[in-house]
């Protein structure tokens, strides 16, 4: 009997040690068994679910309904699941989940925004690995310009232009040089003209 068939059999006939044991050969069906058949957490189904970050997160959120060291350890293989575990299960920042999300600029940004709810050196450094995310971090987390986020944004002309327009809101040599000879040079000039008009008004 496959884990799927064991799960379907248990749905029709109720839980049993045999079908649960077979379901636990697959992390998905171990989680589904705990959620829909046992309707309670058990060490065996949790251990099986923890073989995959997705089902470890699902188990913590839907079955345990609380954080645990074993489910957290299982999700910490994945920056994405570390982020959503911190946000939805722990509901607070922790050094271990933050360390994992900082391996991925996108999830580091979202962790800073939605879990830490404040800027930090480690999440900012992770964001600065990619120009668009350096801009995102400056706009949505720092909410102010900084040399490091500007430098990272300036590796991409588009990001340099948007950094100048939305964050610096003034001419800066770094952003100006970054757009020179690109399609954003004209837009940058238009932005500067608008700034000058606003000063006159």
Q: What is the mean pLDDT of each run of 10 residues along the chain (201 residues)?
A: 95 96 98 97 98 98 98 95 98 97 97 98 98 98 98 98 96 95 94 80 55
Query: Taking the domains of the chain in order of start, what are their residue ranges?
Result: 1-73, 76-127, 147-201
pLDDT tens per residue across span 108-124? 999 999 999 999 999 99
CA gap 178, 186 in Å, rounded: 13
Q: What pLDDT score does 200 carry?
A: 64
The residues near 79 (Cβ < 8 Å, ≥ 6 apart) are: 100, 101, 102, 103, 104, 107, 108
**Cβ atoms of 76 and 87 closer than 8 Å:** no
CA gap 89, 72 in Å, rounded: 9
Q: What pLDDT score does 199 carry?
A: 67
Q: Terminal CA-to-CA distance of the chain, rounded, Å?
A: 78
DSSP code, position 102: T
Helix (H) or strand (E) holding 79: helix 79-85
- In this structure, the chain runs to a length of 201
Q: What pLDDT score does 196 carry?
A: 79
Q: What pLDDT score does 39 carry?
A: 97
Q: What pLDDT score does 134 carry?
A: 98
pTM beyond cutoff 0.85:
yes
Q: What is the 3-state secondary structure (H, E, C) of 140-199?
A: HHHCCCCHHHHHHHCCCHHHHHHHHHHHHCCCCHHHHHHHCCCCHHHHHHHHHHHHHHHH
Q: Is residue 134 exposed (0-12), middle (13-18) or buried (19+ Cβ within 10 Å)?
A: buried
Distances (CA, A) of 66 to 1, 63, 70, 89: 32, 8, 12, 6
């Amino acid at each position: 009997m496959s884990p799927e068939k064991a799960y379907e059999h248990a749905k029709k006939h109720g839980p049993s040690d045999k079908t649960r044991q077979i379901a636990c050969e697959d992390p998905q069906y171990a989680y589904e068994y705990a959620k829909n058949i046992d309707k309670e957490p058990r060490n065996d189904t949790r251990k099986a679910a923890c073989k995959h970050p997705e089902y470890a997160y699902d188990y913590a959120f839907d079955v345990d309904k609380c954080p645990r060291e074993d489910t957290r350890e299982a999700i910490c293989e994945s920056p994405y699941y570390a982020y959503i575990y911190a946000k939805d299960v722990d509901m607070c920042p922790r050094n271990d989940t933050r360390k994992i999300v900082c391996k991925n600029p996108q999830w580091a940004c979202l962790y800073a925004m939605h879990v830490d709810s404040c800027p930090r050196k480690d999440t900012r450094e992770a964001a600065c690995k990619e120009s668009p995310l350096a801009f995102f971090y400056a706009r949505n987390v720092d909410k102010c310009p900084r040399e490091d986020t500007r430098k990272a944004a300036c590796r991409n002309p588009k990001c340099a232009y948007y950094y100048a327009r939305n964050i610096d809101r003034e001419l800066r040599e770094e952003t100006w040089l970054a757009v020179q000879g690109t399609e954003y040079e004209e837009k940058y000039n238009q932005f500067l003209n608008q700034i000058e008009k606003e000063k006159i008004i």
